[in-house]
Amino acid sequence: MRRHGSHVPVIDTGRPHSARIYDYLLGGKDNYRVDQQAGDELLAVAPEERAAARANRAFLERAVRHVVRAGPRQILDIGSGLPHSPNVHEIALETAADVRVAYVDNDPIVTAHADALLRSSDAIGVALADLRDPRAVVEHPGVREVIDFDRPVALLLVSVVHFLTHAHEPARVVAALRDALPAGSYLVLSHVTGDFADCSGAQAVYDRAATPLNPRSRAEIEAYFDGFRLTDPGLVQASSWRPDAPPTATSAGIGIYGGVARKIG
């Protein structure tokens, strides 16, 4: 594995970052005091956020196992966040030994950690790139050395599209990535919503971070699956997507939708 990029932006540890807040909510240690403070503020206004983070992570794990069993042996994880065991490649390798994974994030701290932890495998790529520029993601050398876009790919957009504002044209971004994938590829997507609980408190916390939060409705999120066919049970609360155990009472307030879909053409 080689890390690519001619320019590495300055690491800003003075403002909280979504990936590091998420790491803190999951109980990780790769975060700074400013991220911990933001996480504590988030839990003060939205106590369900820790359960939501865990539900989202569990959805990711189940979805990765599903798509690898379905056929693709390549995974493109955009907005991958800080390494958290089990990592995507570890989950995938439980099902198939020939899986290749490209991790993409726009936070240099994330890619530095991934580079250090995953250096030993040639089947793993790490790319410093931004979802807002999907062409740059797809053409990044760190992606291209691992992913062959002539073969089915499992595209992971897990808890990242909700950081795109209306001005970033999230539907265009997702469509551009979809168009880079061959038929038989999969999309795994989760997204924050205000359909189950008031998100205004959480939005206020993220407004002070590097990445403002943009909750969307089920209909808005479902539109990102245009060109894909959703697998059962469709677009549902992340905790209800093929759960390993019956959802708990806490799950009712988890404001995250999750879905898995196959590209149909």
> Tens of pLDDT along 241-251?
999 988 776 67
Instruction: Answer yes or no: is pLDDT of 8 > 60.
Output: no
User: For 99-120, what is the mean pLDDT?
Assistant: 85
The total of other beta-carbon atoms located within 10 Å of residue 21's CB is: 27
pLDDT in tens, 207-244: 988 789 999 999 999 999 999 999 999 999 999 999 99
pTM of the model: 0.93
In whole angstroms, give the CA distance from residue 175 to residue 161.
12
In the predicted model, what is the mean pLDDT of the chain?
91
Burial class (CB in 10 A: 0-12, 13-18, 19+), 205: buried
Pair of tokens at residue 242: 């093929």
Structural domains of the chain in order of their starting residue, each with its CATH number = 3-243+253-263 (3.40.50.150)
pLDDT in tens, 63-79: 999 999 999 999 999 99
For the chain, give the percent of residues with pLDDT over 90. Answer: 75
Cβ-contact 25, 53 below 8 angstroms? yes
Q: What is the pLDDT of residue 110?
A: 86
Instruction: Answer yes or no: is pLDDT of 86 > 80.
Output: yes
